[in-house]
Amino acid sequence: MPNFSPFRKAVLNLRANPQSFLSRRPLSSQTSSSSTNTINQKFIIGAGLAISVPTYLYLTRARLDYQPDTVPDKVNSDVPDQVRSSQSGNGKQIAKISARDVLDKKDSNEFWVVINGDVYNVTEFLDEHPGGREIIESNKSKDVSYIFNPRHPSDQLNNENLPPSVKHLGKLEINNEEEKEKLKLNISKSETDEKELIKKKREEFEEKGLGQIINMRDFEKHAEELCSKVAWGYYASAADDEITKESNNSDYKKIRFRPRVLRPVKEVDSSTKILGYDSTIPLWISPAAMAKLGHPDGEVNLTKGAAATGIIQCISSFASCSVEEITAARTNNQPLFFQLYVNSKRHLAKEVISKINRLGFNAILLTVDAPVGGKRERDIRVKGEFEAPKSDAYDKQGDTKGVAEAIFSAVDPDLNWKDLKWIREQTKLPIIIKGVQTVEDAVLAYKYGADGVVLSNHGGRQLDTSATGISTLLEIRKHAPFLLRPEYRIPHGPSKELIKNPDLLVPTTPINEKPLDRKFSIFVDGGIWRGTDVVKALCLGAEAVGVGRGFLFAQTVGGVDGTIHAVKIFESEIQLAMRLLGVNKLSDLRPSMVEIVEN
């Protein structure tokens, strides 16, 4: 959230058991959700910035019941013609507010808006709104559902989740078409044209189906066609010149396999355990924010897809579905990890961790590579235009920034290694440090008691020209191999032992190599588009890898089915690489099976 302080009172007043709603839609109806994000600039500045509101309001919500079929499509619906009910869930009479009353407020000192058929007085909320007063003032006496829904959890408007300064007045009642038209937002022609184009592209895609997707890059190609420009600007953006984003993948091309032939490979097993939890492949869904920008069901698609395929999902702190929606959609005993950004206000950070404990998450990935948001120029250029948190550099220029910067300003920029002890005191869950980019910090993570690290540069979205995940793994192998499991501390490339004993598939572990005094896991994230990338990382000592953008694109294109299809692609490619490399199980992968090509 751009600035947490205005919501402090509101957040502390949010309490348990609101009803969660998600609407299931056929794939053909998803176009509006992914295309509602460019509107005109005045609308989007505030609406986009409002992205950050729900990402932290989950702090004090308790577990919700997931009822996906109870409500019609709130993203695509027009202004309702009539009130659906005149009573609340507790039997109290709900007031009916005429459209004329709403429209009459346009020339008054009060600010009313309509969202999903309900009327709200947001007058006292003007100065608390993270996007500033302008967006509310500009849309005074309008139905703002169109820009509200794609950016917020579906339970955001439950009474328990409303800040005290937002007053729910009642249900909207419309008497004629003229009133209905006056309430509608003035959508720009470019927005309408984009929406129609995406709809056409969606229909064309559906005619062929997911069968046309044969690798993860295919998902990327089609996702761009099925996203709005604003959504794509956020998903695809990286820092500055995007050199690190490209290097994340190109560095894998510098690693060559050394396959062993004439090995029986009919049977192959790509399953593993990640932090003690079963996974069908050595890969998890990395935390990636704002999935609803690509599909109306957002992160819940990933949760269901992970459950159906037996892999693990890590939930972003900036997810567009609330953690209650996500955990309510999980299957029994389905493991979920949580990506934690530490709020500068420790009592609020403590509430987040308490919630994660209570909702039954299985691990925390403490993200440390984003004390501030990177300069992501694609995101900024789209002009959506998400207003940035204020800083001296940009205030003087009056610039409008992207959502990336807007959502980071609640994160504590002074978080340091000593804070790890405080976090450990709040939970018994494994704590993995995500965003390590040097061997020194990997050593510090072990020293300060972390359970492992994710070698990652935030998908190239933070500091451009920084180290890639796989290059940091090579750095650890060279300078601090003791952090690796003993069998992976040997050099890569040809093994003298195997040359003397070529019948062996893997070299023996040197007797002088002892395990660490406690479990310490090393994972790699970033730039992984192929099963061969996964296998290369494991050969060099990683226990598993994370994939973020690829799954965002998959759920954008095909929802749950797209997520499942993506997992199957990775599984097929991983198993094929294993067979061609001459191994039957992941534990047989060794550094001797790869060589590094020097520049």
pLDDT in tens, 225-279: 999 988 898 899 999 999 999 999 999 999 999 999 999 999 999 999 999 999 9
Given the DSSP bridges, would you call strands 277-279 and 363-367 parallel, antiparallel or unpaired?
unpaired
How far apart are alpha carbons 7 and 409 in whole angstroms? Answer: 14
420 and 483 in a single domain? The answer is yes
pLDDT at 348 over 50: yes
Per the domain annotation, does 206 fall within a domain?
no
Residue-averaged pLDDT of the chain: 83
Confidence category of residue 92, pLDDT binned at 50, 70, 90: low
274 and 359 in a single domain? The answer is yes
pLDDT at 150 over 80: no
Lowest mean pLDDT among 129-143, 402-416, 486-500, 515-529: 402-416
248 and 366 in a single domain? The answer is yes
Whole-angstrom Cα Rg for the chain: 25
152 and 261 in a single domain? The answer is no
Per the domain annotation, does 337 fall within a domain?
yes
CATH number at residue 129: 3.10.120.10
**Contact call for residues 312 and 244 (beta carbons, < 8 A):** no
Query: 3-state DSSP call for residue 28?
Result: helix
Per the domain annotation, does 316 fall within a domain?
yes
| pLDDT for residue 408 | 65
Model confidence over 540-592: pLDDT tens digits? 999 999 999 999 999 999 999 999 999 999 999 999 999 999 999 999 999 99
Instruction: Give the domain extent around 347.
Output: 216-388+396-596
Confidence category of residue 406, pLDDT binned at 50, 70, 90: low
Confidence category of residue 303, pLDDT binned at 50, 70, 90: very high
Confidence category of residue 598, pLDDT binned at 50, 70, 90: confident
407 and 517 in a single domain? The answer is yes
| pLDDT for residue 206 | 93
- Does 195 or 429 have the greater pLDDT score? 429
| pLDDT for residue 489 | 97
**Contact call for residues 368 and 339 (beta carbons, < 8 A):** no
Query: 3-state DSSP call for residue 503?
Result: coil
Question: Mean per-residue pLDDT for 100-104?
Answer: 95
Confidence category of residue 457, pLDDT binned at 50, 70, 90: very high
pLDDT at 217 over 70: yes
Per the domain annotation, does 324 fall within a domain?
yes
| pLDDT for residue 191 | 85
Per the domain annotation, does 25 fall within a domain?
no
Active site residues: 341, 369, 458
114 Cβ contact list (under 8 Å, min separation 6): 79, 102, 120, 142, 143, 144, 145, 172, 183
382 and 440 in a single domain? The answer is yes
168 and 296 in a single domain? The answer is no
118 and 223 in a single domain? The answer is no
How far apart are alpha carbons 38 and 352 in whole angstroms? Answer: 32
170 and 240 in a single domain? The answer is no
393 Cβ contact list (under 8 Å, min separation 6): none
- The total number of structural domains in the chain stands at 2
418 and 546 in a single domain? The answer is yes
What is the CB neighbour count within 10 angstroms for residue 16?
11
Measured in whole angstroms, the distance separating CA 212 from the mean position of its chain's CA atoms is: 25
Percent of the chain at pLDDT exceeding 90: 65
Per the domain annotation, does 589 fall within a domain?
yes
Query: 3-state DSSP call for residue 114?
Result: strand
Question: Mean per-residue pLDDT for 293-304?
Answer: 95
Question: Mean per-residue pLDDT for 360-371?
Answer: 96
| pLDDT for residue 210 | 97
pLDDT at 518 over 60: yes
How far apart are alpha carbons 119 and 144 in whole angstroms? Answer: 10
Per the domain annotation, does 357 fall within a domain?
yes
**Contact call for residues 112 and 118 (beta carbons, < 8 A):** no
165 and 261 in a single domain? The answer is no
User: Whose CA is closest to 162, among 204, 193, 118?
Assistant: 118
CATH number at residue 285: 3.20.20.70
140 and 243 in a single domain? The answer is no
How far apart are alpha carbons 378 and 232 in whole angstroms? Answer: 9
pLDDT at 39 over 80: no
Per the domain annotation, does 171 fall within a domain?
yes
Of 166, 183, 200, the residue that ends a domain is 183
Given the DSSP bridges, would you call strands 336-340 and 96-98 parallel, antiparallel or unpaired?
unpaired
Question: Mean per-residue pLDDT for 167-179?
Answer: 94
pTM attached to this predicted model: 0.80
475 Cβ contact list (under 8 Å, min separation 6): 438, 439, 467
State residue 437 phi and psi, 5-degree precision. -130, 5
Question: Mean per-residue pLDDT for 161-170?
Answer: 89
